[in-house]
Amino acid sequence: MNYLENYIINSIYTQFYRISINFNIKMNLRNIIFSLLIIFSTVSAKPSIKTTTKEVTSTVGTESYDNFIGYQATYLSAITYCPEKSVKNWDCHWCNNVSDFTIIETFWDEFTSTFCYFGQLSDKYENTNSNTNTYKKYVLAFEGSQDLKDAKIDLNYSKLVPYKNHPSAKVHGGIWTAYKSIQDEIYNLIKNHYVDDLLVVGHSLGGALATLASLDLVEVLGIPYVRMISLGAPRVGNLQYAVLYDSKVEEYYRLTHGHDPIVQLPYRMMGFHHIGHEIFYPTDSLSYIECLEGENPRCSNSVARDRSNFTDHGYYLNIKLVGCGSNDYEPEMYQYRDPSDC
């Protein structure tokens, strides 16, 4: 990002905090900002970064990941965009696609506009005697960008802050603040339910929150098994954070789709670096490429910036995530969460 681009974005960002203006004007400014980001992402040269991580050859398909895992994470993530009341009652547009799920709690922090839900999912499997058993695991799902305050968190790209007691590992300051706003509630809930198997999911900003939460919960609560699946998530931290994450979280997948521009942000030249285990869907088909290291040029980094497409951000595995499946929702725009829905 050159000086002019950085000046324009920082100037607009500052005005969001300093000036009180009506909601319609805020929404228009926010849409302009997102347009500027996409324009900048198409004209800025993709920077190179030297890493000490080992290059791993990409493979088409693996035994560890399959589309069933992807579908499950996509539906669970799409549900976060539905009205909170319908999530609590588990009668939302997408809820019927996740059977055998028991909702336990929802969280909503008004200041940071952070929403997530927590529940228990029953998976059926066959044991060695060919009998069908039910295995229960817990799910923590984070909502992505859907209103003005989310946009402010998304746009605060320039601030990398130290990650807890790992001084060399740094994370996005705005997203870390959003996660910490509901961190204590999540700690208490997981302790009270003696969680030993947890799936953490999220789309867009929710995917970034899921990334932060999964590592934090492994380190602080020592949950024996944590799986994280993000969809269309931006870069969360620097290279040292990505290395730390890979050493602590046993299983994780970072799903990307086509020309999704959000996965290209924040820029690598600003010190950010993706975590690994990318599952890249180049088109709307269900074929994918797995790249085990974070910035592999065969996955989403292979996409030219001048072909960025917000529709690819709104759809994963041919499922419309944002807008709770509404046909009136346009993926190019972000919607405001009406407090009356909660």
Query: For 50-91, how does the pLDDT look when each residue is reduced to its tens digit (9 = 90+)?
Result: 332 233 333 333 348 999 999 999 999 999 999 999 999 999
pLDDT (mean) for 184-201: 94
Distance of CA 204 to the CA centre of its chain: 4
Which alpha helices (DSSP H) does the chain contain, by range?
Answer: 3-18, 23-43, 67-78, 84-89, 148-155, 173-180, 183-192, 205-221, 239-248, 310-314
273-298 pLDDT, tens digit each: 999 999 999 998 889 999 998 899 99
> Quick one: CA torsion of 277, 282, 284, 288, rounded to 10 degrees?
-40
Tell me the percentage of the chain whose pLDDT exceeds 90. Answer: 51
The per-residue pLDDT for range 91-124, each reduced to its tens digit, is 999 998 998 899 999 998 888 788 999 999 986 5
User: Topology of 3-341 in CATH?
Assistant: Rossmann fold (3.40.50)
What does the alpha-carbon distance between residue 84 and residue 117 come to, in Å, rounded to a whole number?
A: 9
- Where in the chain are the domains? 3-341
Q: Which of 192, 212, 193, 187 is nearest to 202 (CA)?
A: 212
C-alpha 208/C-alpha 202 separation (Å) is 7
* Maximum CA extent, the chain: 66
